[in-house]
């Protein structure tokens, strides 16, 4: 059996999956890893631990597959990864110079405030990168590393510092590391650094100078579907790495989204992307202009509008791990269903600020409307509703930017989309159908599609064109069950709660 492999390196776990020629899952394996929180608002990952999970997942996933199919042949590997997470390593040793700083980490708040003041606007880089100044993006994390980690500053001064996102780290190690490993990234990951010109798809010289970087410190930017190199060692030795996308772009490809179709991935956060075709639409409503994908070096680039929401599944985890209100993530559906509504409770999970469309680093989480009537069911349901209200905010902004009057449906995926109540609340909130595919690992599937297209395992038409029609039929639809007037009234109340969350950073010291 010939298969395409996918390596999905996410915020909380690493997954390895194998797909047959019909894009059906053959086998998989996943492992979680530690979330390192040294201070409030800080989140780090140990790159060596992540590398260890990659090796274990590949070995165990292949063993599982070969017990079913002894003649298994892996044609190519596609990689997808948590975006914006940033690290630096030593060119001489291949060892990390510090832990990876995770995308939702907000330690760079002071740096972003300093730059915004210096530039006179938080949107000074939008024309080039499509991105605002924010703790979210890689360039600001790099600047923190340079200013605060002696080993990083020394490596830069001595000319042996390498800087990259998680995809670059994985491809470097898979292809040999210090023994000839490749140093590349793809356009979708590069687009999230705030260093790439989104129109030319090259590192911008002015931005490199501002952030004290040079091209030799950064990986070469490639398309999303081409052979980058071959795996050097282990059970996949000799297999080409032929696809690479940031996780949300991979999910868009895995959902087979066509122009003016939108998808939302419910993971640690929520990531809503609208495919805008070959046009990079400038946002006037607080969204990001980003890459969708480029399926080959000579293929035209495809763009997207994105609204990123920091807290979705992470909010459910908080209810479980910090508050003890639920026993498991799956338990949230039953507990929230134990009440008919939120009992007047409104939750804004701005634990580390708000991303799109507000971009408020000073926001903090608030729960409003508590009374003696409030139960844990009301609070859990309010958290689920907050996820849907945040999605509605972003979808409304997309309608404005894309000059559309409405969308026919929203495609969904990600672990939290398994929650049927959450999906019904989402359909109610946005007043259009929500469509969930049978196979929820669309991020992994998108990485596999890219590698399959690059190696001829699948045709682009089979993945995205007329040949894809029958591949999009196995799904569950959720349709609105609440009238628009009720939705609009509750949404206005939630928006008032959002305003109450502003300017709460270091509230006690004000």
Which pLDDT tens digit goes with each residue over 368-380? 999 999 999 999 9
- CA R_g for the chain: 22
This prediction has a pTM of: 0.91
Q: What percent of the chain has pLDDT over 70?
A: 97
Burial class (CB in 10 A: 0-12, 13-18, 19+), 174: buried
Containing 428, the helix (H) or strand (E) segment is helix 420-430
Say how far apart CA 11 and CA 140 lie, in whole Å: 19
Q: How far apart are CA 138 and CA 192, in angstroms?
A: 7
Residue 509 has a pLDDT of 58
d(CA 29, CA 61) in angstroms, rounded, equals: 5
User: Ramachandran region of residue 38, left (φ > 0), alpha (ψ -120 to 50) or beta?
Assistant: alpha
- Residue 471, pLDDT > 60, answer no
DSSP code at position 497: H
Residue 340, C-beta contacts closer than 8 angstroms, at least 6 positions apart: none
For 391-411, what is each residue's pLDDT tens digit? 999 999 999 999 988 888 999
pLDDT tens digit sequence for 136-181: 999 999 999 999 999 999 999 999 999 999 999 999 999 999 999 9
The predicted-structure confidence for 432-457, as pLDDT tens digits, reads as follows 999 999 888 899 999 999 999 999 99
Residues 6+ apart with CB under 8 A from 216: 159
Average pLDDT score, the chain: 94
469 is written with which tokens?
Answer: 């029609």
């Amino acid at each position: 059996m010939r298969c395409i492999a996918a390596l999905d390196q996410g915020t909380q776990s690493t997954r390895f999956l194998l797909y047959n020629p019909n894009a059906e899952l053959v086998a998989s394996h996943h492992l979680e890893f530690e979330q390192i929180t040294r201070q409030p608002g800080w989140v780090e990952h140990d790159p060596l631990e992540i590398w260890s999970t990659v090796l274990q997942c590949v070995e165990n996933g292949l063993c599982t597959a070969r017990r079913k199919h002894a003649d298994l042949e892996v044609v190519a590997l596609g990689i997808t990864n948590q975006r914006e997470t940033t690290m630096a390593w030593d060119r001489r040793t291949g060892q990390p110079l510090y832990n990876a700083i995770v995308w939702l980490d907000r330690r760079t708040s002071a740096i972003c405030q300093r730059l915004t003041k210096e530039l006179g606007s938080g949107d000074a880089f939008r024309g080039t990168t499509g991105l605002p100044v924010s703790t979210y993006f890689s360039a600001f994390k790099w600047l923190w590393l340079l200013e605060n980690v002696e080993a990083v500053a020394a490596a830069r001064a001595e000319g042996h510092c390498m800087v990259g996102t998680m995809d670059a780290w994985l491809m470097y190690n898979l292809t040999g590391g210090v023994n000839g490993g490749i140093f590349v990234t793809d356009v979708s990951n590069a687009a999230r650094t705030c260093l790439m010109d989104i129109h030319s798809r090259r590192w911008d010289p002015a931005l490199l100078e501002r952030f004290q970087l040079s091209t030799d410190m950064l990986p070469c930017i490639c398309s999303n579907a081409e052979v980058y190199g071959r795996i050097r060692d282990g059970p996949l030795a000799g297999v080409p790495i032929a696809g690479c996308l940031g996780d949300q772009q991979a999910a868009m490809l895995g959902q087979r989204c066509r122009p003016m179709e939108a998808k939302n991935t419910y993971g640690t956060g929520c990531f809503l992307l609208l495919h805008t075709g070959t046009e990079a639409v400038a946002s006037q409503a607080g969204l990001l202009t980003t890459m969708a994908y480029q399926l080959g070096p000579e293929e035209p680039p495809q763009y997207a509008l994105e609204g990123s929401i920091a807290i979705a599944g992470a909010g459910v985890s908080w209810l479980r791990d910090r508050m003890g209100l639920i026993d498991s993530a799956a338990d949230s559906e039953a507990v929230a269903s134990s009440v008919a509504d939120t009992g007047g409770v409104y939750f804004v999970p701005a634990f580390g600020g708000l991303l799109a469309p507000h971009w408020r680093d000073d926001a903090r989480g608030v729960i409003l409307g508590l009374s003696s009537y409030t139960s844990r069911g009301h609070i859990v349901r309010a958290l689920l509703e907050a996820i849907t209200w945040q999605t509605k905010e972003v979808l409304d902004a997309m309608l404005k930017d894309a000059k559309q009057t409405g969308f026919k449906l929203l495609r969904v995926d990600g672990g939290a989309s398994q929650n049927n109540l959450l999906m019904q609340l989402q359909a109610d909130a946005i007043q259009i159908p929500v469509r969930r595919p049978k196979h929820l690992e669309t991020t992994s599937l998108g990485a596999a599609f890219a590698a399959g297209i690059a190696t001829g395992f699948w045709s682009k038409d089979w993945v995205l064109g007329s040949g894809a029609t029958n591949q999009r039929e196995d799904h569950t639809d959720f349709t609105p069950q609440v009238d628009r007037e009720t939705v609009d009234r509750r949404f206005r109340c939630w928006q008032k709660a959002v305003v109450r969350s502003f300017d709460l950073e270091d509230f006690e010291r004000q």
